[in-house]
Amino acid sequence: MYWFLSLLVALVLSFIIVLLPSPLAGMLGFTVIAATLFRICFYMLDIRSRIGPETDRVEQAYQNYLEEKRSENH
């Protein structure tokens, strides 16, 4: 359903862009592309936050090493 709706919106926007004078068509086209890129970035950040931060194995090994050294010294 959303795919069909987005297809219709794209069709209407393409007709509007063709009918507009060149500067207005360029601004509208740029706005659509920029909005799409911002939306993609937003979704990527959302997906990344849902997956969770990945633990760095090297950092974790270093922290374990430091804890072992501290426990050996005391």
Q: What is the pLDDT of residues 8-59, one digit of tens each?
A: 888 898 888 889 898 988 888 898 899 989 999 999 999 988 887 666 888 8
Q: What is the pLDDT of residue 2?
A: 81
Domain ranges of the chain: 2-73
Q: 39-50 as b/e, with b when 16 or more CB fall inside 10 Å?
A: eeeeeeeeeeee
Q: What is the pLDDT of residue 65?
A: 93
pTM: 0.55
Cβ neighbours, 10 Å, residue 20: 14
Over 80: is that where the pLDDT of 70 sits?
Answer: yes
Token pair recorded at residue 53: 């931060």
CA-to-CA dists, residue 72 to 29, 62, 63, angstroms: 65, 15, 14
Let me know: does 13 contact 28? Beta carbons within 8 Å: yes
